[in-house]
Chains A and B, each alone.
Chain A
Amino acid sequence: MVCDSWKAKLDTYLDGELPEQELRAFDAHVRGCAPCAADALARVQIKRAIQVAGKRFTPSAEFRKKVRQSVAPTPQRRLRPGWIFTSALALVFVAAALTLTYWATESGRDQLIRNQVYSEIADLHVDSLASSSPVDVVSADRHTVKPWFQGKIPFAFDLPELQNTGFTLLGGRMAYLDQAPGAHLIYDVRKHHISVFVFQERLLPAGLGENSFLPMSLAFRMETWSQNGLRYFVIGDTGVSEIESLAKLFKGN
């Protein structure tokens, strides 16, 4: 029967997968052949029935949420239990820094770079707050801490005399800001920790600002300036006056 050869290709035809040439020949045949037309119609209906029956299972809303969360982009921060709170503080800081940019009039790119640096500094500060051993060299004596950094960082800096200032040096550790090695010093003032970071200015992005004081009303206050080729950041959750005072002690060197 001539129709048998057509019927063998009927499904391929209905799947829309017959080559152009064959497709036209097939169309012509089906139009003139009642049995093939009936067969085609029945198969179309079966296809449709399978399509309906095949859409059978629906995922639950909770499961969708679970999978979405598992693939959603997450910040690449080193979160450990107990760090959540302090990291949240850092985010508040970043939000505050971003808000500030709308007030300023500099180029957006400079502000973006600056905010990235500031949030990185906030992160480093938060890391030390959350760490069980925040310093690598534990000493209140600047004459012990200063030499500890020698050979570890490619520059030298001076630590201020703290007598009768209310500040206590807790110690120091290495810090990296965008691959640039630097010093991280931690001070205590009335049970509050203040971090001082020192980096080489030339290794950091330009446009970080001179003596720019950021009046952070939220989590942290910070002051940053450049002096003798070194970039300083003083950051903490104390009042403005403590940050200013410690910054002044460093500037006075």
Chain B
Amino acid sequence: MGMSGPAPQSDAFEALAMPLFDQLYNFAHWLTQNREEAEDLVQETYTKALKGFSSFQLGTNFRAWMYRILRNTFLTSRSGLAATSTVPLDTEVDGPVLAVENQTPEAILMQLSSSQLLQDAISALPVHFREILLLCEVEEMSYQEIAETLSIPMGTVMSRLARARKTLRDRLRPQFQEG
């Protein structure tokens, strides 16, 4: 009939995408560090994803697809460009980082009694470290999913994650142990 009614795809999109809303917002807020910008980013992500949903391949990872749209939208935004321009990743190499730390992480645990301190430390991480750490620890994505989301090889996922963790641990180390 000429009367087409609601697009069936739109139904499916809403059913798939809305359950991710809280997580995507949290992730967006961590990236932008600002409520208004986070809302703009999430809204733009949903609008873009809905528009591109017909090209989404069923059977591929929908969550990774949504995060990828959000992240790419962020990286091309003004604050995204500003956040990445200060921390070039050109020194990044694939493969595991032999992060031999002299101290056990037990010393760090002392710092974790304050959630605020940990949150501040995560906020202060370079954006590429922050996002990979959040995808791994908060979203509990597999390395494969992270690789899809960030469009990087598995080896890079592992090395970047190791560097992100090491950076965070270093920053959480009690002041008197530094230097």
Judge: A and B partners, yes or no: yes
CB under 8 Å from chain B, chain A span 67-102: 67-68, 70-76
> Total interface residues on B, using CB and 8 Å?
57
Whether B104 lies near A57 (C-beta < 8 A) is: no
Q: Which residues of A lie under 8 Å from residue B39 when comparing CB positions? A: 59, 63
With A9-B96, A15-B136, A56-B26: A35-B3 Cβ-Cβ less than 8 Å: no
Whether A59 lies near B2 (C-beta < 8 A) is: no
Is A251 on the interface with B (CB-CB < 8 A)? Answer: no
Is B87 on the interface with A (CB-CB < 8 A)? Answer: no
> Total interface residues on A, using CB and 8 Å?
50
With A46-B112, A53-B118, A177-B2: A67-B43 Cβ-Cβ less than 8 Å: yes
With A42-B104, A42-B108, A120-B3: A70-B47 Cβ-Cβ less than 8 Å: yes
Whether B6 lies near A67 (C-beta < 8 A) is: no
Is A123 on the interface with B (CB-CB < 8 A)? Answer: yes
The CA of A54 and the CA of B43, in the complex, are separated in Å by: 21
Whether B158 lies near A46 (C-beta < 8 A) is: no
Is A7 on the interface with B (CB-CB < 8 A)? Answer: yes
Is B142 on the interface with A (CB-CB < 8 A)? Answer: yes
CB under 8 Å from chain A, chain B span 22-41: 22, 25-26, 29-30, 35, 38-39
- Chain B interface mostly helix, strand, loop or mixed? helix
The CA of A80 and the CA of B134, in the complex, are separated in Å by: 44
With A66-B43, A71-B10, A71-B46: A50-B133 Cβ-Cβ less than 8 Å: yes
The residue on A at minimum CB distance from B6 is A73
Chain A 116-128 interface mask (CB, 8 Å, partner B; 1/0): 1101100100000
Is B98 on the interface with A (CB-CB < 8 A)? Answer: yes
The CA of A75 and the CA of B98, in the complex, are separated in Å by: 57
Is A25 on the interface with B (CB-CB < 8 A)? Answer: no
Chain B 128-142 interface mask (CB, 8 Å, partner A; 1/0): 000001101110101
Whether B1 lies near A56 (C-beta < 8 A) is: no
The residue on B at minimum CB distance from A12 is B158
- Chain A interface mostly helix, strand, loop or mixed? helix
Q: Which residues of B lie under 8 Å from residue A177 when comparing CB positions? A: 2
Q: Which residues of A lie under 8 Å from residue B58 when comparing CB positions? A: none
Q: Which residues of A lie under 8 Å from residue B100 when comparing CB positions? A: 4, 7-8
Chain A 46-65 interface mask (CB, 8 Å, partner B; 1/0): 11011111111111000110
Q: Which residues of A lie under 8 Å from residue B136 when comparing CB positions? A: 15
User: B4 → chain A, closest Cβ, in Å?
Assistant: 5
CB under 8 Å from chain A, chain B span 94-124: 96-101, 104-106, 108-109, 112, 115, 118-119, 122
- Residues of A participating in the B interface, judged by any CB pair closer than 8 Å: 4, 7-9, 11-12, 15, 17, 35, 38-39, 42-43, 45-47, 49-59, 63-64, 66-68, 70-76, 113, 116-117, 119-120, 123, 176-179, 205
Q: Show 11 residue pairs from A and B whose CB-CB distance is below 8 angstroms, ordered by the A residue.
A: A12-B96, A38-B104, A46-B108, A54-B122, A54-B137, A56-B29, A56-B30, A68-B18, A70-B47, A73-B11, A120-B3
Given contacts A70-B47, A71-B13, 4 further A-B contacts (CB under 8 A): A50-B122, A63-B25, A64-B21, A68-B18
